Amino acid sequence: MPIRVTVSSEFSHDKLNERVRAIYPDGMHAVMADGIREFAGDAVAVRTATLDEPEHGLTEQVLAETDVLTWWGHRAHGEVQDAIVDRVHQRVLEGMGLIVLHSGHYSKIFRKLMGTGCGLRCREAAEREILWVIDPSHPITDGLDANFQLPHTEMYGEQFQVPPPDELVFISWFEGGEVFRSGCTWRRGKGKVFYFRPGHETFPIYHDKNVRRVLANAVKWAAPASSAPYLSGAPNIKNPIMPVATKHEVDESIHR
């Protein structure tokens, strides 16, 4: 069975702005979806969801049928409904993979999962970026060389205000003197989260073959990989596995 991928994007700059529309005539999500299909082939079944659809296209049913969700947002983070954010959050804890892209660092869902501010330094000067592979064992790096370059990007610089990542996959070099942890993974509940830096809307980033390859690899990596049960809530376990020898009188009435 293929990995069921939902590519979510706010579809805003790419609708309103002529210049962005020239790069992404059908929206950024269409190009991302193509990129994933190009490099993951039959391993995936990809659909898209945009902000202006009912429930942002992320209904209970869509999420129930999604193994991996990708998230791109920028100017409209504030328009994403809190109830949908909570729904996505719950699904991640239960095992859905989540790929957060570029300016998605400031999305409600990413901040909620990280527990931090998720800030960074930025600059739009169309500068060169070189992404170095830090962890060549990681499936997300499959097919890449020791580094790859993007000729013109928006700069993101440290400090990236996230918790220390579980795995550090890429570090970026920028022409103006900054560095950035551009590929990071974290586990949250049963779900795997990958943040990938490239993706500014005014540059044709999602047409780049290395970026597309990383998207496809990330989707495969983030797909649920274990059927082991996820513990939800704080269940009261009446029956211990082993007999509890030392009994102590507890006044149950005092609690809660």
Please list every residue from 99 through 128 that binds a second copy, using CB under 8 A: 106, 112-117, 119-128
Residue in 38, 52, 86, 158 binding a second copy, rule: CB under 8 A:
158
Alpha-carbon span 210 to 142, nearest angstrom:
10
Over the range 49-77, which residues count as b (16 or more CB within 10 Å of their CB) and which as e?
Answer: bbbeeeebbbeeebbeebbbbbbbbbeeb
Per the CB < 8 A criterion, the answer to whether 81 and 47 are in contact is no
Shortest distance (Å) from residue 111 CB to a second copy: 8
Per the CB < 8 A criterion, the answer to whether 182 and 237 are in contact is no
Identify which range of 3-11, 34-42, 53-61, 227-235 contacts a second copy by CB under 8 A: 227-235
Shortest distance (Å) from residue 167 CB to a second copy: 7
Which residues touch 68 (CB under 8 Å, ≥6 apart)?
Answer: 3, 4, 5, 6, 96, 97, 98, 99, 219, 222, 223
Sign of CA pseudo-dihedral 29, 32, 36, 39: positive
Shortest distance (Å) from residue 243 CB to a second copy: 8
Identify which range of 3-11, 28-36, 79-87, 239-247 contacts a second copy by CB under 8 A: 239-247
Alpha-carbon span 40 to 2, nearest angstrom:
10
- Per-residue contact string for residues 174-213; x = within reach of a second copy by CB under 8 A: xxxxxx-x----xxxxxxx---------x-----------
Minimum CB distance to a second copy smaller for 8 or for 103: 103
83 sits near a second copy (criterion: CB under 8 A): no
Per the CB < 8 A criterion, the answer to whether 123 and 167 are in contact is no
Residue in 143, 150, 215, 216 binding a second copy, rule: CB under 8 A:
143
Minimum CB distance to a second copy smaller for 2 or for 151: 151
Identify which range of 28-36, 47-55, 60-68, 136-144 contacts a second copy by CB under 8 A: 136-144
Residue in 26, 60, 161, 207 binding a second copy, rule: CB under 8 A:
161
167 sits near a second copy (criterion: CB under 8 A): yes
Minimum CB distance to a second copy smaller for 83 or for 244: 244
Minimum CB distance to a second copy smaller for 33 or for 216: 216
Residue in 172, 196, 215, 218 binding a second copy, rule: CB under 8 A:
172
41 sits near a second copy (criterion: CB under 8 A): no
Residue in 155, 211, 216, 218 binding a second copy, rule: CB under 8 A:
155
Q: Please name which of 151, 154, 149 lies closest in space to residue 201, comparing C-alpha atoms.
A: 154
Q: Please name which of 86, 88, 82, 118 lies closest in space to residue 195, comparing C-alpha atoms.
A: 118
**DSSP character at residue 231:** P
